[in-house]
Amino acid sequence: MIKPLVITTCAVLAFNLFTFKESEPLTIEDYAEACGLTSDEFVLFSSVVEAESNRQAPEDGELTTQGRIFIALTIWNRINDSRWPSTAEGVLTQRGQFSTIRNGHSVTERSEWSDIAVVEAYNWIEQGDAPNVQFFNCRYYFSGVEPYDYVGGNYFSLGV
C-alpha cells in the first residue's frame, strides 16, 4: 500500500521547488542539483519516467504523481543496487530495459510531473523508508519476484 507520506511530501516538494527562487521558474540545473545528477542525466531520467508513465493522464492528479514517483524509485533503486549499473545513464540505457531509449536518448519529452517525481523519489530514498521496488510490469509481478503494489497503471515488484 502506498504510504500517505508520498502525497504529502510531493505536495510540499512541489510547493518548495516552485517558490524557493522568488517566482523564477526552475531550471533543469535546479532539478538536477536537487538529486545529484548532471543536467543531461536528469533530462534523460525524467524523459524515461514520462514515457513509462504513459497510462496516466495529468487529470489523474495525485495518482499521476504517485505512479511517476514509483517509476523513478525503480530507477533510483537500480542505481543503488550492485546488480545494476551504478549511474543513471547506465541504468537508463542498459540494453533491453527501457524501450523508450534509442541510441542513448529518450524518444519522449519530459514533463513537469516527471521532473518532480524524479526529485521526490530521490528524497524518499534519502529519508530511508522507500520500498526497494526494482521492476514494474505484469511479467515480474506474477513470476516469483516479490510483488509490492499496483500504482498508476503499473505493477511494481521488489528487488530480490
What is the DSSP code string of 102-145?
A: ETTEESS---HHHHHHHHHHHHHHHHT----EEEESHHHHTTTS
Q: What is the pLDDT, as a whole number, of residue 6?
A: 45
Between residues 77 and 12, which one has the greater pLDDT? Answer: 77
Between residues 71 and 63, which one has the greater pLDDT? Answer: 71
Q: What is the pLDDT, as a whole number, of residue 19?
A: 47
State the number of CA atoms in the 13 A half-sphere of 30 facing the CB: 14
> How far is residue 98's CA from residue 52's CA, in Å, rounded to a whole number?
8
| Residue 102 pLDDT > 90 | no
Q: Which of 34-38, 83-87, 103-107 has the lowest mean pLDDT?
A: 103-107
Between residues 148 and 118, which one has the greater pLDDT? Answer: 118
Q: What is the pLDDT, as a whole number, of residue 8?
A: 41
| Residue 43 pLDDT > 80 | yes
The residue with cell 519530459 is 110
Strand partners, 105: 102
Q: What is the pLDDT, as a whole number, of residue 104?
A: 77
> How far is residue 130's CA from residue 57's CA, in Å, rounded to a whole number?
24
Q: How far is CA 93 from the centre of its chain?
A: 15
SS3 call for 152: coil
23 pLDDT tier (thresholds 50, 70, 90): low
Q: Read off the pTM.
A: 0.78
